[in-house]
Structure 1
Amino acid sequence: LATSPLKRPATLTPGRHLAPTESLASISTPADLHVELVLSEPEIAQPLALRFDNRGRLWVVEYRQYPFPAGLKMLSRDKYYRATYDRLPSAPPNHDRGHDRISIHTDTDGNGTFDQHQTFVDQLNVASSLEIAADGVWVLNPPYLLFYPDRNHDDRPDSDPEIHLSGFGLEDVHSVANSLCWGPDGWLYGAQGSTTSSHVSVTGSDAPPVYRDGAMVWRYHPQQHRYEVFAEGGGNSFGLEINARGHLFTGHNGGSTRGFHYLPGAYMQKGTDNKYGPLSNPFAYDPLPAMHTDTEIPRFSHDLIQYQSTALPDRYQNKIFAVDPLHQHVVVSDIKRRGSTFETSDIDVALRSTDLAFRPVEIVVGPDGWIYVADFCEEFIAHGQHYQGQVDPSTGRVFRIRAADSATTSAELTPLHIVRQLDQATPEQLRDWLSLADRSIRRRALRRLASLQVDHSFVAESLAMLRRSEMPAALELLWLLHQWDPETSTHLQESLRHAEPDVRRWAVRLLGERNHLGADVVAALVELAASDPDIDVRAQLACTARRLDARNCLAIVTALLKHDD
């Protein structure tokens, strides 16, 4: 099945593309939305991942080295574009210098235009994603997960990067590990595509590498130095979304669905074994499907978000926005419950382009509540064509979708203004913001507050607030208390009786991650499995049961079998 090795052509032959302003003019939107061009070449090229910091600055991973890793010799390649190289690349600073970089873009006067541009780190080689921390930047640079410390916040790494994980595969550079995303539980989540494998080791650990072949979602705890597979299977996963209730979604490179909803520990459909490899569990007889839809969906929804901010018109609240690079548009879908998972129905197109090179590959909600879309800007989008040199490493754009009746503003009541106050806010202010309607602000306030040292009385007050709070504050407070004290189970056991089903569900999930559960906790879980009316809570009980020893697992599962849904 092997084909001849492919080398980078001496001359690239990219396709056609419009100039940035012409591409903007080619875009149409519904009457209640407006699109703006906020970044383009020469300031950026090949944007693959976008993140915002608490100053409202946009960070961009520029995948300029794609599709040929620097310094490696391809020995063979199969018909699915899985390559074998002559060696594993070294981690920075001892790596082969590539052209990937991470850049920072600032709106200095608050008028909505990014007018200041700088580079955080360059000469990277197959850098696919980043996530911003309080004292540095996480960079996914397969085969490594790196942390660049920047404790003095001067936008320059303090030192060489720390290597936290190694072993992510490079067989297929349009399928590498990607999409770093902070979870509300303090874990760093990521995805892996369908045609790469991984043998992941934690630096400093004697544990054997964790092997998986093909699509999955994984996670890493920076403080506990723990790596685990969250769930496996799915499509050629690029993109992660964790919604306000903590449900996790990815996009898909196939048709007939808008994406996958992952439960912890789930085994999802992943295609044919001869291409993607089997699931790791030979007894996973009926893998879970992608989200159902009543809409005819062509290939494909590469990445998606669930809009849960406040800047767009009300009709977009809680809707799915999914990028479709093959058809040059961004789709809007309704999403609703279907048993213990979800189903979608397409309702609109938020952005449609007639530029053949418009290829949206990343979508995020900014701190202003507006939607940002990264455009890879390639007429030819098939990975095989890129291997043949039909790729342009010098182009790329970022577009912003906002409400048609809004204007860029620095008024004090905007979400962006609140975000810019986060690093100076008091613990009391941060806790108050956990009740705001805007998920982006809540999630940022949670991360900031979880990183602070607070006194015992503040923790006690937060626990008292959890007991009497409704959504969304109740769930945010549960996540907060867990991050402050990931070993104590008292507040979690108490939360098994909370009025909000999502709090009960997450209490079950977090209890299952403890190293040891007492007999009283297990008894409470068994009782909940028998009596809880919420199917989401019971689905999580099934997920938690498989993390426990056989006796306790069977006790929970037996109680769940009493239900008929």
Structure 2
Amino acid sequence: MIRHLTLTLSLTVAAFAQAQEAALEFPPKPPVHALTAQEEQQTFQLPPGYHMELVLAEPDIAEPVCMAFDGNGRLYVAEMRSYMRDIDGTDELVSTSHVSVHWSSKDDGKYDQHRIFAANLKLPRLLLPLADGVLIGETDTNDIFLYKDTNGDGVSDEKKPVYTGGPRGGNLEHQPSGLTWANDNWLYTAVNNYRLRWKDGQFIKQDIPGNGGQWGGTQDDDGKFWVVNAGGEKGPLNFQNHILYGQSAARAQFEPGFEIVWPAMGLRDYQGGPGKSRDDDTLNHFTATCGGEIYRGDQLPAELKGDLFFGEPVGRLVRRTKIEVNDGITILHNPYPQNEFLRSTDACFRAVDMKTAPDGTLFICDMYRGIIQEGNWTKEGSYLRKVILQHSMDKIIGKGRIWRLTHDTTKPVPAPKLISAPAAQLVETLAHPNGWYRDTAQKLLVLKQDTSIVPALITMAQKHESPLARVHALWTLEGLNALTADHIRTALKDASPQVRKAAIRASETLADPALEADVTTLSKDSDPTVAVQTLLTAKQMKWKDHAKLINTTALTSPSKGIKELAGQMLNNQLSFPREFSNQQKDMMRRGQAIYQELCFTCHGLDGKGTALEGLPPGTTLAPPLSGSKLVVQSDFILRVLLHGLSGPVNGKTYQAQMIPMANNPDEWIADIASYVRKSFGNSGRFIEKAEVAKLRKEHSGRMTPWTTDELKTFGPQPYANRKDWKLTASHNPNDLTKSIDGNPETRWDTHTPQVPGMWVQIELPKALPMAGLILDTAKSKNDWPRGWKIELSQDGKTWDKPVLEGASPTTVTEFLFPKPQLAKFIRITDTGSVKGLYWSIHELEVLEPAVAAAK
């Protein structure tokens, strides 16, 4: 589910924290009590001049998790009423939640009318009003429905499917949220590796890179989609460019210490325990960031405009983030050294969503509850469970508040009336100082598809004094299918870099080859962000010489930002070996999308593990996948994906434990397993979904994660007696010891391209049972034998019929025998050939049969 509700960050603790925890006792302490909204209001700490005003509270709402406004300012709230009703999450996945709607009968900003707009929902998580209805998506499904209230009583009486995505499995934190209609007229969500577009009353889908977000999404004035993530302990991520162009990061994109948090009160209700807290029990680091919003309103001080706000509900605070763009690089700052913009001393303040409101202020959704972690991390024996019970936090449920952030300078404004407004009025609204108005007006104009206002939009795009109005006019033309190459050419010459960037992006929608030269000219733009957008578009559109353009621009530009981001563009390619079949490439693409959605925050984009700042080099959040024997050997990875993994891995205990993924389909498991086994220098074989189905059935009754000791009983394990082997080979025998020295950086190779008949022979100290071989090619990943024959012998003279033979057009290093064999001599013969490539072995292993049958 949402990262701030589940806190998978610290699922197991570091070894030093475990030792501390073992020594701790958890005697009962005075229970945490729920405060009234008026009492909670007194606990807020804000900079001078700012205030928190109550908008809604229980019983009018309960368990609110996200919110959205329609064109007339009515407030819709998704309420997860079945979420963690007790410490075990009993009956959580039942359809007892709903979306409520609230409005002011006097248009004075006081919400005195309340209705259940859509009832009997399963943990609703997607919410976006259109013109005549509200889009709603629930948990465990990708389907989206449009709910309509046809008689105006505030209760929906019509439900229509508009996107059928099918069931969605996996943990609750790994499901979409933050549905956002962006400037480019596409709808984006956190987590998903696709975007949606409204067309003829339905959504069409387009695959894009996964953004890594976990709860909530927002856009800035440029239309860049922003998300935050807790798993990587860094908060915002992939914000250097629009996610359409791929995941991105830059050196020094956070000020030093950005990830350190400064709560006003301490209570260790997070799985990291002592290792994640100071001596006063306050949280010391991001662990549950969520609900981000770029403030774009007009009734708070101008210093806040364009800043990113997001919640840290475990720290009972809201982080204000100052966004600086320096030489094309986006850098994030906390403007309150050793402090936060908003803090509370109430243990139940849980800020999980934020929205720029029609009245120009910032609304903050407070789930207000005791337990904020999902049941996967409050199980028997967990650190969290002990703390929750110690403070009786499981008793505080069924509440929730919505707050309005105001300032001494805030003025009341009338409620909007945009849904029935004439198209001409909506065009004028594209210049409104409040970004909510601009976004809503553009959305409604695109939904209306009234082309009579095209001339007014053209005039605005070319002549309006506000660059933001010109940007919205340009994209509204695009949404009406009225954008032309001439409009683009005019905007490419605009005095505002913001408009030039929008024009470059909008040119992609025309796919007009004649525009390539016009756009390419801006690779030399004086504004680095415009030049970067030019390069991104060139790559996205796959222009013939885009790589040359990127490289030349990087070499000739004085901008360090351009050089750094251009280097990423050249290296961030989505390609797979040509030897892979089309089916295998499809598996890799699907697996990569899953990895970039869910896995990279802990395991790193390079598979080497996400480094933890402030700790010794090499300390990572989760085990490296690159070179992992758990990944490559046998079916270990499938068991881990299905049921999770706990405890030490290779003698180390990591903060991020692998959680079960068994709710996902067999194909999903096979895709991500195959991708990891074929990436990051790994050379395992592809996994078929039938293998997943077999293991799923075999362990259908298992409810707990595996340990590495348990896994070793299922699959073959390498013999440890390599120092006693005698190795010979047809080619370069002197280097054979490099294949068994335990160092994957060294290798044996043939010193000449592969040809049939090359062989390597192993003589064991005595006849041993064996289940197969590993011929790891490591960094020499193209040097696998294109054909092979494996023979066994008791005396090295008489050889049995080959126990295994075959050929492979793709990397293979794992050779498992049909059944265990007993032999003293093993000969591997290369029966294939490949032009210009050696046969290499970095690590040679003989596998001992599993020591126990699966249970």
TM-score range, shorter chain: 0.7 to 0.9
Shift of 1:329: 1.4
Among 119, 124, 132, which residue is 2:116 paired with? 119
**Partners of 1:328 and 1:356 within 8 A in 2:** yes
Q: Per the alignment, in what secondary structure is the counterpart of residue 443 of structure 1?
A: helix
Match of 1:380 in 2: 371
CA distance in 2, matches of 1:316, 1:487: 33
The 5-angstrom pairing of residues 158-557 of structure 1 reads 158-167=157-166, 169-192=168-191, 218-223=194-199, 225-234=203-212, 236-253=213-230, 254-261=232-239, 262-268=241-247, 291-297=253-259, 298-300=285-287, 301-348=289-336, 349-383=340-374, 384-385=376-377, 390=394, 393-406=397-410, 409=412, 414=413, 416-417=414-415, 420-454=416-450, 456=452, 458-469=453-464, 470-485=466-481, 488-514=484-510, 516-518=511-513, 520-529=514-523, 531-549=524-542, 551=544, 553-554=546-547, 556-557=549-550
Structure number with the higher strand fraction is 1
Sort the Cα spacing of 1:472 and 1:173 in 2 relative to 1 into closer, same or farther, 3 A: same
The answer for unaligned runs of 5 or more in structure 1 is 4-13, 75-84, 86-95, 193-215, 270-286
Q: Measure how far apart 1:347 and its partner are.
A: 2.1
Please say if residues 137 and 144 of structure 2, whose CA atoms lie closer than 8 Å, have aligned partners that are also in contact. Answer: yes
- Taking a change above 3 Å as real, the CA distance of residues 401 and 464 of structure 1, as seen in their structure-2 partners, is closer
Query: For the aligned residues, what is the CA RMSD?
Result: 3.1
AA matched with 1:316: L
Structure 1 residues 451, 167: closer, same or farther in 2, change over 3 A?
Answer: closer
CA distance in 2, matches of 1:181, 1:464: 27
Q: CA deviation at 1:374?
A: 1.1
**Superimposed CA distance per residue, residues 105-150 of structure 1 (whole angstroms, 9 cap, x where no aligned partner):** 1222244332221011111113212000012111122422312242
- Gap change, CA 1:186 and 1:111, over 3 Å in 2: same
Q: Which amino acid aligns with 1:324?
A: E
Q: Which has the higher contact order (CA 8 A, sep 6+)?
A: 1
User: 1:394-418, CA deviations, whole angstroms, 9 ceiling, x for partnerless residues?
Assistant: 12211111113546x4xxxx2x44x
Mapped to 1, the partners of 2:535 and 2:358 lie a distance apart of 36
TM-score normalised by the chain length of structure 2: 0.52
The corresponding residue for 1:11 is none
* Separation in 2, partners of 1:258, 1:220: 23
Residue 560 of structure 1: which of 553, 566, 582 is its match? 553
- Give the number of equivalent residue pairs: 477
Question: Are 1:48 and 2:65 an aligned pair?
Answer: yes
Q: Which amino acid aligns with 2:404?
A: R
**What is the DSSP-based 3-state SS (H/G/I as helix, E as strand, rest coil) of the residue aligned with 2:143?**
strand
For residues 290 and 116 of structure 1, do their structure 2 counterparts lie closer, same or farther at Cα, with a shift above 3 Å needed?
farther
Q: Is the 8 A contact 2:178 2:216 kept in 1?
A: yes
CA deviations 1:301-348 (Å, max 9, x no partner) are 323222221111233233332222121112223221034342122124
Q: In structure 2, the residue corresponding to 1:546 is in which secondary structure?
A: helix
SS of 1:311 mapped into structure 2: coil
Asked whether the equivalents of residues 227 and 292 of structure 2 are also in contact (C-alpha less than 8 Å), the reply is yes
SS at match of 2:461: helix
Note closer, same or farther for the CA distance 1:44–1:465 as it changes in structure 2 (3 Å cut): closer
The 1:257/1:104 distance shift into structure 2, 3 A limit, reads closer
**Aligned partner of residue 382 in structure 1, secondary structure:** coil
Distance 1:26 1:290 in 2: 35
CA distance in 2, matches of 1:535, 1:405: 36
- Equivalent-residue separation in structure 1 for 2:190 and 2:471 (angstroms): 24
Q: 1:394 to 1:67 in 2, by over 3 A?
A: closer
Aligned to 2:129: 132
CA offset digits 1:26-84 (Å, max 9, x no partner): 2232221111222222221111111112222211001123359xxx999xxxxxxxxxx
Aligned with residue 66 of structure 1, among 77, 83, 95:
83
The one-letter code matched in structure 2 to 1:113 is K
Per the TM alignment, residue 245 of structure 1 is displaced from its structure 2 partner at its CA by 2.0
SS of structure 1 residue aligned to 2:209: strand
C-alpha separation between the residues in 1 aligned to 2:67 and 2:126?
8
Contact 1:512/1:545 (8 A) holds in 2: no
Residues 149 and 256 of structure 1: CA distance in aligned 2, closer, same or farther (over 3 Å): closer
CA deviations on 1:242-292 (whole Å, 9 max, x unpaired) are 1112222112214445554152434437xxxxxxxxxxxxxxxxx667942
Question: Greater share of helix residues, 1 or 2?
Answer: 2
- CA deviation string 1:400-456 (max 9, x = no partner): 11113546x4xxxx2x44xx2323433333222222322122222222233335455
TM-score (norm 1): 0.76
Structure 1 residues 175 and 289: alpha-carbon distance in aligned structure 2, compared to 1, 3 A threshold: farther
Call closer, same or farther: CA 1:97–1:255 in 2, change over 3 Å: closer
Distance 1:321-1:58 versus aligned 2 partners, 3 A rule? same
What percentage of residue pairs aligned between the two structures are identical?
22
The corresponding residue for 1:283 is none
CA–CA distance in structure 2, aligned partners of residues 387 and 121 of structure 1? 32
Q: Which residues of 2 match residues 134-153 of structure 1 at below 5 A?
A: 134-142=131-139, 143-150=141-148, 152=150
